[in-house]
Each structure stands twice: as C-alpha cells, then as structure tokens.
Amino acid sequence: MHDSQGLEPLVRGIPPIRSRRGPRRRRPAKLHADKGYDYNHLRRWLRRRGIRHRIARKGVESSQRLGRHRWVVERTVSWLAGCRRLHRRYERKAEHFLAFVGIAATLIGYRRLARTSTWHPDLSHPSAMLSDMNENAFWQLIEACTPSVPDPEGDELAAALTARLTNGPVANVVGFAEQLSWALYRLDRKEYGDGLSSDQFLYTRAAVVAAGREEFERVLRSPERFMPYANDLVWAEALLYVPDNAYKHLTGEEWDRSTRYSYESYSNTAGWTAA
C-alpha cells in the first residue's frame, strides 16, 4: 500500500486529545507531509475537515524545507526500528503489535530519561568510559580483524571481531559497544545523512567505521568522502551485531544494555540542528 493511502485512516484514527479549555480536540490544526502525499484529493479532504496542510509539491519545491518537522518523525521511527521485535510483524492482531510498540516506546523514554538525569556525557573524552577498551584499542582491534580479501558487507570482519571478543572478558564487549556507538554517533550529522533513509544512513556509517581509523578520520574531516559509500550502497550492517553476538556467547543471555551514545540515525541532535 502506498503511503498516501494511509493518510485518511491515520487522521481518522487520532484519538480525542484533552485541551486546556473547551472540548477535546479530535483533529490536528496543521499537517506536514512530503512529496509522497502530493495529491489534490488529499488536499481537498484535509480542507473539508478544517486541517491546514503543508505538502511539498513534486517538481516544484524541495521537501528539505520540511526537514525540521520530518526529522522528528524519522528520528522517532528510527528509535522504534532499533527494537528487533518491531522489525517484522509476527502478531496477527493489531492490538498485540500496538502493545509491543507501547512497550518499546516506554523503554526508549525510560532509557533516555535515565541517561540524561544521572550523568552528563563529555563528548571530548569517550575513551574515559571504559579502560578495558579505549578508543585506541578499539581501532587496533578493527585493524587486526580486517580481512585481507574483499569483504563488501563486512561479514568477515564482524565474524573475526566476535571471535576475538569472546576470548576476553565481558567488559571488553561492553567497551567495544561503547566505542562503536561513539564512532557512529560522530558521523550522525546532516552533512552526511541528508536525503538518506535511516537504515541506509546507519549501515553506510558502519561501513566507514569498518574501513578503519584512517579512513574514518578522513571522512570526518571531509564529508564529501562519505558520498561514495552512500551512492555505491557500501554497507556493513553485520558490524552492528558484534556486541550482541559476543555478549550472548560469553553470558548465554541476550544483550540488553544501552550505550551512552545511540548509534541510531538522527540521534545526534546537535549534528542535525546545527546551522
């Protein structure tokens, strides 16, 4: 189903919202949408219901003007997509799936509140997070595990990293996850990801990290070096699952930890709102 077909049932499904005065609101005052919703019948439908709309027109205007509105939505969807249970719908009943969405939203909110209320991270000193796996050790491990044969998807690198980490203490796995998320967080900026989907942007950032420290730092200095990775769909999704796999091998339990810096796309608020 095309996204545009879901607009009417989505708006109809908005529950009554309590207002400070007067009756409860049953419809939004204004609706923002990108070019996927550029249809006259949708504009007429919204006008009949007294809803102002701001829908980008195909071939007329750039949808980037909606960036500050769309970014909030894309960021939130990316947070939810980070919960594996929501990647694919297994529940037959919609209310069951909605319940899992509610659980995911609760956990995301709790983790962000706990993170901001208990400490304030110093972005200039990520290596101070864990002595077992500091920044230098992280990049040395990446270099040591980089295969000598072509590894376009990063699978061989991920397997080698997992094997190395399972031979050490759990603290190294936690430290690796922290350093990996920090590296991905540093690339989570508008000049790198503008125009990319959340998944494409995440997997491409992982590919830059998989390329090693020298290339990573070159990309940080020159954002234009990021585009060949994005244009050629150079991904390294497997790198993201290294901590999960190593942790489960060592403990027999699923990874259930939050890193100080989220690697999900659009999490670096400063990187996306900076002028």
- Helix, strand or coil, per DSSP, at residue 90: coil
Q: What is the pLDDT of residue 144?
A: 93
Q: Measured between alpha carbons, how far is 125 from 111 in angstroms, rounded to an integer? A: 22
> Are 185 and 262 within 8 A, CB to CB?
yes
Q: Note the pLDDT tens digit of each residue in 41-59.
A: 999 999 888 888 888 788 7
Percent of the chain with pLDDT over 70: 84
Which carries the bigger pLDDT value, residue 169 or residue 85?
A: 169
> Are 49 and 27 within 8 A, CB to CB?
yes
Q: Which helix (H) or strand (E) holds 76?
A: helix 67-81
Domain range list for the chain? 24-61, 62-114, 135-272
Mean pLDDT of 224-242: 86
Q: Measured between alpha carbons, how far is 86 from 108 in angstroms, rounded to an integer? A: 13
Q: Does the pLDDT of residue 119 top 60, yes or no?
A: no
End-to-end alpha carbon distance in the chain? 36
Q: Measured between alpha carbons, how far is 184 from 264 in angstroms, rounded to an integer? A: 8
Rg value, the chain, Cα? 21
The sign of the CA dihedral 87, 91, 92, 95 is negative
Q: What is the pLDDT of residue 214?
A: 95
Q: What is the pLDDT of residue 197?
A: 81
Q: Quick one: pLDDT band at residue 61, thresholds 50, 70, 90?
A: low
Q: Quick one: pLDDT band at residue 126, thresholds 50, 70, 90?
A: very low
Q: Does the pLDDT of residue 266 top 70, yes or no?
A: yes
Q: Which helix (H) or strand (E) holds 128?
A: none
Q: Compute the C-alpha angle 83/178/213, nearest 5°.
A: 115
Mean pLDDT across the chain, nearest whole number? Answer: 82
Q: Measured between alpha carbons, how far is 225 from 206 in angstroms, rounded to an integer? A: 14
